[in-house]
């Protein structure tokens, strides 16, 4: 648990990419995926690599996953595509990276650099080079993307009643730049990216608040799992219906939180709806 002292009765954690900001499509399609294709020599199957990466990171229940396990999952789906096999392209799962992910909780460049220093593994070196290339692409390309409508209104409504945290798997540098660019960093107590730890680890501060006084706002099943792991409530920002979700949070969700009427049937209704938006399996055929 990072050092954090509550100042208000309630805590609200908010994911950033794809939740507060409409940056998921831009970052993955223009920054992550081209660098995956380039770094992992997937040029011969770029169409399928793009489809797999988009499915994992945007259009499946893995949406919002940290970049490194997301990379592994993308390669695993490619191994199962008959079209990839038919083109004679062999997909290798970087065992060194997979092993690092099993033992390290801070899935971020600084921890990866430390691991390389202790064990100069080629899989780790390639993953770090790819990750740095992604960060550079994001710095070069991602700008001028405002928060979704009703995000700022919601943040303003939280003032004086809630401690607000940005809870994200994005590097802190990018988070701070984007929240400062649009003048909404002033509404949050702390910005917690991947260097702080996983979303689950960041939300451990929920233990400092009374029951049903902590709410996580997110657009991905991983956000919900982090909330459940810390006995927090969850409000989904439904992919593709973000503006309506934020309006709903602003107009009714927060009032239910403050009136202690969020847990129970209202939460169940939100979760049942959220579960319909993202599938478990891809739309393309898999190898038998």
Q: Specify the pairing of strand 214-218 against strand 233-236.
A: parallel
What is residue 89's DSSP assignment?
Answer: P
Q: Over range 100-116, report the average pLDDT.
A: 93
Residue 88 CB neighbours (<10 A): 8
Q: What is the CA radius of gyration of the chain?
A: 19
Residue 160: pLDDT over 60: yes
In whole angstroms, what is the distance from residue 219 CA to residue 234 CA? 10
Q: Which residues contact 245 (CB under 8 A, 6 or more apart)?
A: 235, 236, 237, 238
Among the residue ranges 10-14, 105-109, 213-217, 230-234, the one predicted with the least confidence is: 105-109
At 197, the pLDDT band (50, 70, 90 cuts) reads confident
In whole angstroms, what is the distance from residue 139 CA to residue 119 CA? 29
**pLDDT at site 1:** 57
148 neighbors 246 (Cβ within 8 angstroms): yes
Give 48-69 pLDDT, tens digit per residue. Answer: 999 999 999 999 999 999 999 9
Residue 245 CB neighbours (<10 A): 24
Short-list 210, 143, 215, 217, CA closest to 182: 143
Higher pLDDT, 10 or 108: 10
- Tell me the three state secondary structure of residue 240: coil
Q: Cα–Cα–Cα angle for 9, 11, 16, nearest 5°?
A: 160
Q: How many residues in total does the chain contain?
A: 288
In whole angstroms, what is the distance from residue 1 CA to residue 88 CA? 47
The token pair at 269 is 């209704």
Model pTM score: 0.89
Q: Which residues contact 211 (CB under 8 A, 6 or more apart)?
A: 231
Percent of the chain with pLDDT over 70: 100
Helix, strand, coil percentages (3-state) for the chain, rounded to 5, are 55, 10, 35
Task: Name the residue ranges covered by the structural domains of the chain.
Answer: 10-22+147-274, 24-141
What is residue 184's DSSP assignment?
Answer: -
In whole angstroms, what is the distance from residue 158 CA to residue 250 CA? 9
Q: How many CA atoms lie within 13 A of 52 on its CB side?
A: 27
The third-level CATH classification (topology) of the domain covering 10-22+147-274 is Rossmann fold (3.40.50)
What's the whole-number average pLDDT of the chain? 96
Give 265-285 pLDDT, tens digit per residue. Answer: 999 999 999 999 999 999 999
């Amino acid at each position: 648990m990072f050092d954090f002292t509550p100042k208000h009765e309630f805590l609200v954690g908010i994911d950033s990419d794809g939740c507060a900001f409409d940056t998921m499509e831009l970052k993955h399609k223009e920054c992550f995926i081209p660098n995956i294709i380039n770094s992992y020599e997937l040029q011969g199957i770029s169409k399928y690599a793009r489809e797999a990466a988009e499915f994992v990171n945007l259009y499946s229940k893995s949406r919002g996953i940290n970049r490194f396990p997301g990379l592994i999952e993308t390669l695993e789906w490619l191994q199962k595509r008959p079209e990839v096999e038919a083109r004679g392209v062999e997909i290798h799962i970087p065992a060194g990276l997979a092993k690092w992910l099993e033992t390290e909780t801070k899935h971020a460049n600084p921890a990866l650099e430390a691991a390389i220093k202790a064990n100069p593994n080629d899989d780790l070196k390639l993953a770090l080079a790819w990750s740095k290339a992604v960060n550079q692409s994001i710095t070069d390309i991602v700008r001028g993307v405002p928060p979704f409508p009703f995000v700022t209104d919601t943040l303003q409504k939280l003032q004086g009643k809630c401690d607000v945290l940005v809870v994200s798997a994005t590097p802190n540098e990018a988070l701070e730049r984007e929240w400062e660019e649009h003048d909404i960093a002033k509404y949050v107590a702390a910005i917690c990216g991947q260097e702080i730890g996983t979303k689950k680890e960041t939300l451990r501060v929920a233990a400092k608040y009374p029951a049903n006084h902590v709410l996580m706002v997110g657009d991905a099943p991983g956000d919900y799992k982090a909330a459940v792991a810390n006995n927090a409530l969850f409000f989904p920002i439904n992919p593709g219906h973000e503006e309506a979700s934020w309006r709903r949070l602003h107009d009714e969700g927060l009032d239910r939180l403050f009136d202690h009427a969020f847990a129970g049937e209202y939460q169940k209704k939100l979760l049942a709806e959220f579960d319909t938006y993202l599938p478990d399996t891809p739309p393309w055929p898999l190898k038998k």
